[in-house]
Structure 1
Amino acid sequence: MEAALGSPPTLNMYAQGNAAPLGASGPQLPLGGLRPLASARAWPAIALIKYYFRPSQSQVRPFIALGVNYTWYSNIGLNPDSSQAAQSFAGTGGAVRSSLSPSWNPVIAGGISYAFSEHWYATASRIYFPLKTTATIRSVASNGTTTLTNKTRITADPITAFADIGYRS
Structure 2
Amino acid sequence: MKRRIQKRLLEFAVVGCMPTFAFAQSAGSFVVSVGSAWLNFGRSESQEFQSQSTFGSFTSSGTRAEVHNTFTAQFLLSYFVTDNIAVEGTLGVPPELRLFAQGNAAPLGAGGPSLPLGGLQPLATTRAWGPMLLAKYYFGSPQNKLRPYVGAGVNYTWYSSTHLNPAFSGALAQFGGSGGSVQTSLGSSWNPVFTVGASYQFAKRWYLTTSATYIPLRTTAHINVVNRNGNVVLANKTRITSDPIIVFLGVGYKF
Q: Does 1:34 align with 2:117?
A: no
Counterpart of 2:180 (choices 77, 94, 100) is 94
Q: State which structure, 1 or 2, has the greater radius of gyration over its C-alpha atoms.
A: 2
Give the aligned partner of residue 21 of structure 2: none
Distance 1:162 1:92 in 2: 49
Give the aligned partner of residue 120 of structure 1: 206
Q: Is the 8 A contact 2:104 2:115 kept in 1?
A: yes
Q: Specify which structure has the higher proportion of helix.
A: 2
Give the aligned partner of residue 241 of structure 2: 155
Distance 1:107 1:81 in 2: 37
Distance 2:248 2:97 in 1: 17
Counterpart of 1:9 (choices 83, 95, 102) is 95
Instruction: Give the AA of the match of 1:163.
Output: L
1:15 shift after superposition:
2.1
SS in 2 for 1:89: helix
Distance 1:97 1:138 in 2: 5
SS in 2 for 1:14: strand
Give the aligned partner of residue 106 of structure 2: 20
SS in 2 for 1:15: strand
The gaps in structure 1 that reach 5 residues or longer are none
1:118 shift after superposition:
4.0
Instruction: Give the AA of the match of 2:207.
Output: Y
Length-normalised TM-score, structure 1:
0.91
Ranges of 4+ aligned residues in structure 1 off by more than 4 Å:
none
Q: Does 1:111 align with 2:197?
A: yes
Counterpart of 1:54 (choices 118, 140, 144) is 140
1:16 shift after superposition:
2.4
Q: Does 1:63 align with 2:149?
A: yes
Instruction: Give the AA of the match of 1:139.
Output: V
* Percent of aligned positions that are identical: 56
For this pair of structures, how many residues does the alignment match? 169
Give the aligned partner of residue 140 of structure 1: 226
Q: 1:135-167 CA distances to partner (integer Å, 9 max, x unpaired)?
A: 001111111111111011011121112223233
1:60 shift after superposition:
0.9
The gaps in structure 2 that reach 5 residues or longer are 1-78, 80-87
Distance 1:161 1:30 in 2: 34
Larger mean Cα displacement after TM superposition, 74-83 or 102-111: 102-111
Distance 1:139 1:7 in 2: 31
Q: 1:50-90 CA distances to partner (integer Å, 9 max, x unpaired)?
A: 12122233111111222222110011010122111111112
Larger relative contact order (Cα-Cα within 8 Å, sequence gap ≥ 6): 2
SS in 2 for 1:21: coil
Instruction: Give the AA of the match of 1:71.
Output: T
